[in-house]
Structure 1
Amino acid sequence: MNTASSGAIAEPVVPGSAPEVNMQLTGQRIDGWFIARYIAALIGVWTALVTPASVTLSIRVGQLDPDGKASSLAFVASVGAAGALIANPLFGALSDRSVSRFGQRRPYIIGGVVLGSLAVIGIGFAPSIPTLALGWALAQIAFNAAVAALVAVLPERVPTLLRGRVSGFMGMTPQVGVVGGTFLIQFIGTDGVWMFFAPVLIGLALVLPFTLTLREAPKTREQVGKVDWRVVLGALWVNPVRHRDFAFTWIGRFLAWLSLYLLTTYKTYFLIDRLGYTTDTVAGILFDAMLLLAGCLAVSSILGGWLSDRIGRRKPFVVAASLLFCVGMLVVAFADHVGHFLVGIAIAGFAQGLYMGVDYALVAEVLPDQQSEAAKGMGVFNLSSTMPQTLAPIIAPALLAIGASGDTGNYTALYLVAAALAVAGAGSIQLVKGVK
């Protein structure tokens, strides 16, 4: 059986697999237009969510608390990441058990994006750091509910032979969102609330076409099971002993993303404190850096996903990506000129793309209970990237304080630790046995 009509994408699905079952129930084939809408929806969510996380949130914190911006950003980012930490797997599990006549995924996607957008807009009017932290927590909770439902589409609807390629496109969506959002910020400026309005409006425009055309077969309560306290508590847990491959994949991604967030969370202050930029001039170089990173990421993500499908192997790409990211961190650690910084960003972007281009396909093949609990499993997996958001701002000030003189932190120590974490992540992936 083919997954596409009219000659778009034609790949067989495994009989009895989740993609085949959903195709039979809904009549919706997974063709090129479906994948294009799916990737656009992911770009929309990341544009709305990651633009504040990468650019405007730190600017807003600097406006409200210019003297204590580093510690205030750590507080705001940690509160928001804590919300994401709980929301992603919890709403994933609730989505798995939804009996809405609109489907399991659509209500969480559109509801999460709408509520998250309102919270992000509210940040633009926040009068204090605590209010800002509250708004960011609400935004993270809502958008992560949408993300949990969206990423479940991969194991549920996309055939195995296409997962590397789709994973490759999925891998580049966060940075495409960041670059698009950063370009908007550079275009409209950072003086008003439009730096929060514009990204969420684009996000909504990109999410709606996929959400409105996604066909779902409503489930009954007997099919999905009841919702009780065990569902809530179990949403945060997949037994690592019973599912060791999933556990090692989770640990590898956790270490790689902790390394990544040590770079991205403090890149703005690195440019200001070490390379001499100001809050007024840093937006331009941030756009250049993010554009370079996204370009490298897009090339390696798509190429890595395609090659992974072609040769039928996932692990070598993920391991190589982790080691390459280590190299990028070493370059940034010793950068004393913006050119050196951009070289490190380019290497890190290529490595990040290679990793993200394959890791969704990798986890989809070791995901427990993907027939009935795909969103929960992907939600727990996404903890490996949301937990580092919480930990990076907590441990970074201690690393910056190592041997620091004056008000300038020790960014070399920060990024040397990030390099070591990337190498450790590569070691964890090597322990996965069930996937080549």
Structure 2
Amino acid sequence: MLKSGTNMVYEYPENSKAIRLKQHEAALAAAKEDDKLSPETGKPISKSNMIKFGVAFLVFGVLWMVGINAIAAFIIPLRLKELVSNPAAVLSINGIVSSICSLVANFVFGNLSDRTRSKFGGRTPWLIVGSIVGGVFMFLTGIAPNATLIVIYYGLAMVGLNIMIAPFVAILSDRIPKNIRGTMSACYGAGSTIGGPLGTLLASQLVNNVTLSSILAGLFMLASGIVVVLIIPREPSADYLPKPKGDWKDLLVSFRPPKFKENHDFYKAFAGRLCMLMAYQMIVAYQLYIVTDYVGLKTGPAAQVISIMSIITMVVSLIGPAISGPLSDITGRRKLPVLIASILFALGIAFPWFFPSAMGMYAYAAIAGLGYGVYSSVDQALNVDVLHNSPSAGKDLGFLNLATTIGQMLGPVVTASIVTATGGYALAFTVSIVAAVLGSVFVMGIKGVK
């Protein structure tokens, strides 16, 4: 204890949990006042750390999307064609099961990461656990001997994936200044939109070696969380944060979503994402069947068309996020890029609808791919801005991500229902376009974000 005149000044140990908690609260308050300050430190982020965060967001998106798309967009539809008489129906069931698994895992583990008080941080442990679970079951999905196990293993792979995604996306709220969230979101969006077609391309090129494709898909998923932990600036210990109550009642209450009356923007963002993801999955999940059954190509030529589509999508995916993410940060606007993205996406879907040919599919890949790249580059930044640095960001973003999983679930179900009822895909294109436009209407209605 030191004396200074009549004032008493107490010296605490440098690692005192009380001091660290006060510093944390001061950093959050400073970040709310100044968009350039980090919620983690209350200071501007260094250039080297900004680069590390950007690379981590990009790499994470690439790695897990390569893994999931190799399996989901190509291997599963291909295997189901070999194993069952009605693969479209089983693909729809697989979409429902995997979406339910994703829905629960994202919400639960986002909340648990908020409550984790590890010396390794609150988010890092879950990135490691999720990568292991996701990688193992992604590999098992590809080599499963029957349709039932494909559905089960893929659902468990989605649990692993969402154990990672929920805490990872919360890093935008925890550690990234508001003025560069659009850029970081763009890095993540670019990674996922590049990784998706890369995964499809990988699997389509190894169409005669499903086992090797499955091994590679599992390794990409396994690497996603582990590599990111090695790249990203080390997460500080979370052991100084107040420990949540240990009773079950408090735990259950913590899963309660934000109140609708006080969070209209939150639910508009939720509805906008749900519509956009449903529109996206209605076409993407069935692109192999669209090329074979709607366009009329056999499996071999269809694989070549999908390979070219993947390359086109990968190229345009570099353009959208590179422009829209930084531009969103410079202008401070999140909603306009979403509107542009929806228009592009809807326009792209119209091409194979009116021109059922390989060229129509290539036009879809180029235009809709660009639109989805623009959308994914600002979507996460928009959602984090809606939360306003909430201390329950993991849980709240997990709830917002329910829109992703519900959209992913509804998309294949709606398409399967349309194909069953009408015998074709024409109406599916119409419904997908309407859903994309409706999503932009919800987003434009958000009032708390420009």
| Residue pair 2:143, 2:211 contacting (<8 A) in 1 also | yes
Identify if the C-alpha distance between structure 1 residues 21 and 154 changes in structure 2 by more than 3 Å, giving closer, same or farther. Answer: closer
Select which of 103, 123, 130 maps to 2:141. Answer: 123
2:237 aligns with 218
Select which of 172, 178, 190 maps to 2:196. Answer: 178
The one-letter code of the counterpart of 1:431 is: G
Could you say what secondary structure the match of 2:58 adopts?
helix
Do residues 324 (structure 1) and 338 (structure 2) align? Answer: no
1:47 aligns with 66
Give the whole-Å Cα distance in 1 for the aligned partners of 2:331 and 2:28. Answer: 18
1:401 aligns with 420
2:159 aligns with 141
2:251 aligns with 231
Identify if the C-alpha distance between structure 1 residues 236 and 78 changes in structure 2 by more than 3 Å, giving closer, same or farther. Answer: farther
Do residues 426 (structure 1) and 446 (structure 2) align? Answer: no
Gap regions ≥5 residues in structure 1: 1-12, 405-409
1:278 aligns with 298
| Residue pair 1:52, 1:196 contacting (<8 A) in 2 also | yes
Could you say what secondary structure the match of 2:242 adopts?
helix
Select which of 381, 396, 419 maps to 1:377. Answer: 396
2:175 aligns with 157
The one-letter code of the counterpart of 2:307 is: F
Give the whole-Å Cα distance in 1 for the aligned partners of 2:417 and 2:150. Answer: 24
- Superposition pairs for residues 29-428 of structure 1, below 5 Å? 30-65=49-84, 67-212=85-230, 214-220=233-239, 223-226=242-245, 228-232=248-252, 234-235=254-255, 237-367=257-387, 370-404=389-423, 410-428=424-442
Provide Cα deviations, 1:325-344, integer angstroms capped at 9, x if missing partner.
22122222222211012112
| Residue pair 1:40, 1:207 contacting (<8 A) in 2 also | no
| Residue pair 1:90, 1:236 contacting (<8 A) in 2 also | no
Shift of 1:110: 1.1
Gap regions ≥5 residues in structure 2: 1-26
Identify if the C-alpha distance between structure 1 residues 149 and 291 changes in structure 2 by more than 3 Å, giving closer, same or farther. Answer: same
**Considering only CA atoms, is the larger Rg found in Structure 1 or Structure 2?**
2
Provide Cα deviations, 1:278-325, integer angstroms capped at 9, x if missing partner.
334422211211221222222112211111112221111111211222
Give the whole-Å Cα distance in 1 for the aligned partners of 2:28 and 2:343. Answer: 34
Q: Which moved more, 1:266-275 or 1:219-228?
A: 219-228
| Residue pair 2:130, 2:161 contacting (<8 A) in 1 also | yes
| Residue pair 2:275, 2:436 contacting (<8 A) in 1 also | yes
Give the whole-Å Cα distance in 2 for the aligned partners of 1:121 and 1:109. Answer: 18
Report percent identity of matched pairs.
Answer: 25
| Residue pair 1:185, 1:195 contacting (<8 A) in 2 also | yes
| Residue pair 1:79, 1:137 contacting (<8 A) in 2 also | yes
| Residue pair 2:53, 2:184 contacting (<8 A) in 1 also | no
Give the whole-Å Cα distance in 1 for the aligned partners of 2:299 and 2:358. Answer: 16
Shift of 1:75: 1.2
Shift of 1:208: 2.5
| Residue pair 2:141, 2:150 contacting (<8 A) in 1 also | yes
Tell me the TM-score normalized by structure 1.
0.89
Shift of 1:118: 0.6
Give the whole-Å Cα distance in 2 for the aligned partners of 1:296 and 1:257. Answer: 19
Give the whole-Å Cα distance in 2 for the aligned partners of 1:78 and 1:206. Answer: 25
Give the whole-Å Cα distance in 2 for the aligned partners of 1:339 and 1:75. Answer: 31
Q: Which moved more, 1:211-220 or 1:145-154?
A: 211-220
| Residue pair 1:332, 1:345 contacting (<8 A) in 2 also | no
The one-letter code of the counterpart of 1:54 is: A
Identify if the C-alpha distance between structure 1 residues 319 and 30 changes in structure 2 by more than 3 Å, giving closer, same or farther. Answer: same
Provide Cα deviations, 1:205-236, integer angstroms capped at 9, x if missing partner.
45423213542233348624135355346536
The one-letter code of the counterpart of 1:433 is: K
Give the whole-Å Cα distance in 2 for the aligned partners of 1:115 and 1:283. Answer: 29
Shift of 1:14: 7.9
Give the whole-Å Cα distance in 2 for the aligned partners of 1:60 and 1:234. Answer: 41
The one-letter code of the counterpart of 2:78 is: I
| Residue pair 1:123, 1:136 contacting (<8 A) in 2 also | yes
Shift of 1:180: 2.3
Provide Cα deviations, 1:20-78, integer angstroms capped at 9, x if missing partner.
342369x987321332133212322222223312221211222222x211111111221
Give the whole-Å Cα distance in 1 for the aligned partners of 2:69 and 2:184. Answer: 21
Provide Cα deviations, 1:233-255, integer angstroms capped at 9, x if missing partner.
65362322211111111111111
| Residue pair 2:281, 2:407 contacting (<8 A) in 1 also | yes
1:5 aligns with none
Task: Name the count of aligned residue pairs.
Answer: 416
Q: Which moved more, 1:52-61 or 1:137-146?
A: 52-61
Select which of 36, 40, 47 maps to 1:22. Answer: 40
Give the whole-Å Cα distance in 1 for the aligned partners of 2:215 and 2:69. Answer: 13
In the TM superposition, structure 1's runs of 4+ consecutive aligned residues that sit over 6 Å from their partners are none
Shift of 1:402: 4.3
Give the whole-Å Cα distance in 2 for the aligned partners of 1:307 and 1:197. Answer: 39
Provide Cα deviations, 1:139-188, integer angstroms capped at 9, x if missing partner.
00111110111111111111111111111121122222222222322343
Give the whole-Å Cα distance in 1 for the aligned partners of 2:189 and 2:57. Answer: 13
The one-letter code of the counterpart of 1:52 is: I
Shift of 1:105: 1.0
Tell me the TM-score normalized by structure 2.
0.86
Give the whole-Å Cα distance in 2 for the aligned partners of 1:289 and 1:238. Answer: 40
1:6 aligns with none
Could you say what secondary structure the match of 1:22 adopts?
coil
Identify if the C-alpha distance between structure 1 residues 127 and 162 changes in structure 2 by more than 3 Å, giving closer, same or farther. Answer: same
Identify if the C-alpha distance between structure 1 residues 177 and 326 changes in structure 2 by more than 3 Å, giving closer, same or farther. Answer: same
